[in-house]
Structure 1
């Protein structure tokens, strides 16, 4: 396999592994989205993790837990293909004479690949959030109708509503998730805590990576969700928030620091399993294809 083919395969495997993880984590993603929009002037009863799940299934059916799955898969096929594959490509530029890459270089590689992927594919995230946030039936009949309706009502720029917080979140997520997995895994192996680069070390490393990513991204994820889900006037101007900073400030003023971490548990319960499944699949696909592990 040539180096060019190897790079292409890494991009492909990155997207496939994240698509598999999205199927597993979508129900928690729906719950997380509902948590995050709760409390911003939307009249609803207090939600709990278990009660929220029961309420959604009771009122909307179990299929509601898979709202937004199609745009989610499309997003993973594009965004995650770019961020997962791009991480390795960018990281290679920072390899030292000993074949090692320091933590700062890994974080930088993650931030750049995540930001690039999210900026390009932001429309798929917008549609996913709006579908998952709707408790009275999906706002759009399909992905194609969603694209057409948004363009008709909000213009081409409407597809990139929330691109700022989306890109910020993606940069933070990828900068914390992939590098922490990469670094923790090699620390465990280098110190002989686990001696074989196999399933056990992949699970342990991805659990820590998922927790770190959840803590890092929760406030930005909440801001992104609220901006994307808010109503807009005829000129496409948000009726509740004018910018990411405005949303952050209003949320903090009205709900306190805990308001910025609304949906943290479902966010962690989503990112945790998503991270575990992603890296197990990604490492396995690389292994069977003869590509060295992360």
Structure 2
């Protein structure tokens, strides 16, 4: 049940943050493998991108990829938060007097994150040009660190998953992660690895807070229901 509640909480958060996922992906793919200044900039920043997509594609355009997004969140966060809950309930991260042991808590979070990433990765492949890490604490400072550290990898993974392929299913632009990373830096400079960082930040904060809020409320509701049944 921990997995179901965790997945449902993440889906609830996704309903509110998917538009920022759309904006982030559009900005990451903008000017792909083109030198700065050599292409038309359709999205100047996260706010302009949000407005432009809504005006051109309508409000429905801001929710593109919602169904696979919900499926991805349910699988990835269901396994990630669910795994962490199981590890926590087993008493692994607490000392005998009930205090949280930081080292073990970090290790449990890392293990849960890997499980979530592995289980959610196959679903990520079906995203129609839309795109691991949601901190277990919802501090805004930690969100900045996560975004800065993870954005280059997010840009590369987004481009790998959305590159055109030939009849054999082979990518036409990139041979793999390293090739995509190097081509992006060579063509777009290091700044190319940080496209969409604003949207990533604005999405991560609310998504983290909402996921954990819904997860906590769903677990409380489930426990109360069990007590009364």
Find 1:45's aligned residue among 32, 41, 46: 41
* 1:220 counterpart = 2:153: yes
Q: Which protein is richer in helix relative to its size? A: 1
Other structure's SS at 2:195 match:
coil
Question: Alpha-carbon deviations, 1:99-145, whole Å to 9, x = none?
Answer: 334333223222222222222232322222x2438xxxxxxxxxxxx
Question: Alpha-carbon deviations, 1:12-58, whole Å to 9, x = none?
Answer: 22111111100000111100000111121476434222222232223
Q: TM-score, normalised by structure 2?
A: 0.84
Query: Does the 8 Å CA contact 2:33/2:183 hold for their aligned counterparts?
Result: no
Distance in 2, matches of 1:211 and 1:221, equals: 15
Find 2:85's aligned residue among 65, 88, 92: 88
CA deviation after TM superposition for structure 1 residue 278, in Å: 1.0
Number of residue equivalences: 217
Map 1:113-128 to 2 at 5 A.
113-128=112-127
CA deviation after TM superposition for structure 1 residue 289, in Å: 3.9
Query: Does the 8 Å CA contact 2:129/2:162 hold for their aligned counterparts?
Result: no
Distance in 1, matches of 2:201 and 2:140, equals: 10
Query: Does the 8 Å CA contact 1:68/1:127 hold for their aligned counterparts?
Result: no
Q: TM-score, normalised by structure 1?
A: 0.67
Distance in 2, matches of 1:79 and 1:15, equals: 8
CA deviation after TM superposition for structure 1 residue 73, in Å: 0.9
Question: Alpha-carbon deviations, 1:219-256, whole Å to 9, x = none?
Answer: 11111101001111223221111111221222222223
Question: Higher relative contact order at CA 8 Å, sep ≥6: structure 1 or structure 2?
Answer: 2
